[in-house]
Amino acid sequence: MIRTVVGVLGAVTALFPDEIVDLFENLAIANPREGTVRGWVRPAIRSEGVLIAAISLFDGRAYAWLMNLTGVFGAVVLLFPDLYRKFATAFLYERPESIEWNERFRSGIRAIGALYVFLAAKTYRDRHTDT
């Protein structure tokens, strides 16, 4: 079930990278029209979505690795939301100093991190109880 959801989210991300960026900015950034996303971000989001969708088609080592990586990323985001915001701002925007985060999104970042950790732990448990 989780693999299907992850695959669908990957496909949606691959098909609609502009909408994904707009949604993220509208939720997370206080001044979404102030910043300019670096030119490589949208193609990278599309590529990531294709990769996630493809990996999710098969339940093997690649999917296990993907979910483990998701769990690690989720733990970092859950425990260090301000570090994530600082890194994401510098990494994704041409003028990071112009970006102002919505303070209420700090809880959203933590919720996303917790969800990623949960999904990774569940798939890990499911993988190891099946054998």
- Give pLDDT, residue 51: 94
- Give pLDDT, residue 37: 92
Under 8 Å between Cβ of 38 and 93: yes
- Give pLDDT, residue 43: 96
What is the number of structural domains in the chain? 1
- Give pLDDT, residue 131: 55
- Give pLDDT, residue 128: 85
| Cα gap 116→99, rounded to integer Å | 25
- Give pLDDT, residue 42: 94
- Give pLDDT, residue 65: 92
Query: pTM of the predicted model, to two decimals?
Result: 0.82
Cβ atoms within 10 Å of 67's Cβ, excluding its own: 24
Residues (pLDDT < 70) of the chain are 130-131
Which residues are within 8 A (CB) of 10 and not within 5 positions of it... i.e. 6 or more apart? 48, 49, 50, 51, 52, 53, 54, 55, 56
**CA torsion through residues 4, 65, 122, 44, sign:** negative
Under 8 Å between Cβ of 36 and 96: no
Provide the domain limits for residue 40.
2-129
